[in-house]
Structure 1
């Protein structure tokens, strides 16, 4: 089991990340809430991981905090929720926002996420209510643990910010028309892809 990686971020293409650990490159998929917290390329980071082995693939999922990983693990234990859907849920809202939905029985917000129908939302609210109490107690007062040099220079904004944002939304399960409409609706000249993805996700909730 690979539980934690510390290395240098060498590629970032949401929601995928490539981290170099002593010459070995690990490919990870990350929820956007964690992806936003990553340092720039060629900077050091600590990422907590969850390893999934399937008949046709071996997948590594990454998280900035242990609490986010714990929530991911709780989600994939819920009936009808696999790693891809759990990744989508944690990309569309933070852990605290998800907990808020559960506490308020907020089905309306959950069903706006791709792949979450009314029945899945209702099941999540029931199954996650008790499980989340211990998780939030453990996460109270915790801080994000990643290493970031203070003197990095922000990466230049690429002309492909819109394309990168749409590609990220498609990878998270959104339909092409939905992703394109969300991105074009919030795009402002000068936006980088990460800011654009975040704004597009927020606009759909």
Structure 2
């Protein structure tokens, strides 16, 4: 429903923060409300997820889109509710969580409240291999050193096209096969995507 809310941090509670926007105070549950202490009275963008059930209507908020995406993925795991997902994200290191899932590190996951061995195994079964496509920033080895150097050279249109192809469900391995050929072109983001799709369908 809401992608984000931009407003001033007006109140900090152990479970939530209140963001004031145009005279309305939005109560937003966050993984670690006190991480906003230095932002008190300042304007912030909070990326929000609206959680609706028969007897619940709640807003959950995050510092980044990546954190929000990881929250939604954790909610899709059997046995993980909003409270459990928030506890996992409260460490403020979503990258560590992602790596633990990819490395099947159950010992790391069971450290979180409410996550036992069974739930940790379920998280790994449900999410391993699915996170690189939606959270590429947490996978610095998505491309090899030469390709990473090319990405950092400043071709924003190409970078955006790669992210769009990942979001469509193509794997990093498939994209690597066509990225060299794509980089030879000087195209817009849309043209890179179209050309990339043509190459991927032929490969």
Q: Specify the TM-score bucket, using the shorter chain as the normaliser.
A: 0.5 to 0.7
Residues 1:2 and 2:2 aligned together: yes
| Cα deviations by residue, 1:21-76 (Å, 9 ceiling, x for unpaired) | 010000001112x7525643211101110001121121100011111101101110
Q: Residue 116 of structure 2 corresponds to which residue in structure 1?
A: 117
- The unaligned stretches of length 5 or more in structure 1 are 142-205
Give the paired residue count.
140
Structure 1 or 2, whichever has the larger Rg, is 2
Q: Name the CA distance, whole Å, in 2 between partners of 1:101 and 1:140.
A: 12
Q: Name the CA distance, whole Å, in 2 between partners of 1:43 and 1:25.
A: 14
Which portions of structure 1, spanning 4 or more consecutive aligned residues, are displaced by more than 6 angstroms?
A: none
Q: Name the CA distance, whole Å, in 2 between partners of 1:136 and 1:86.
A: 16
Pairwise CA RMSD of aligned residues? 1.9
Q: Residue 86 of structure 1 corresponds to which residue in structure 2?
A: 85
Q: CA deviation at 1:135?
A: 2.2
**8 Å contact kept, 1:67–1:139:** no
- The unaligned stretches of length 5 or more in structure 2 are 141-203
| Alignment TM-score, normalising by the size of structure 2 | 0.64
**8 Å contact kept, 2:132–2:138:** no
Q: Residue 19 of structure 2 corresponds to which residue in structure 1?
A: 19
Q: Name the CA distance, whole Å, in 1 between partners of 2:50 and 2:138.
A: 22
Q: CA deviation at 1:140?
A: 6.7
Q: Residue 190 of structure 1 corresponds to which residue in structure 2?
A: none
**8 Å contact kept, 2:18–2:26:** yes
Q: CA deviation at 1:14?
A: 2.8
Q: Residue 43 of structure 2 corresponds to which residue in structure 1?
A: 44
Which stretch has the larger CA shift, 88-97 or 51-60?
A: 88-97
| Alignment TM-score, normalising by the size of structure 1 | 0.63
Q: Residue 182 of structure 2 corresponds to which residue in structure 1?
A: none
Q: Name the CA distance, whole Å, in 2 between partners of 1:119 and 1:27.
A: 33
Q: Name the CA distance, whole Å, in 1 between partners of 2:81 and 2:93.
A: 18
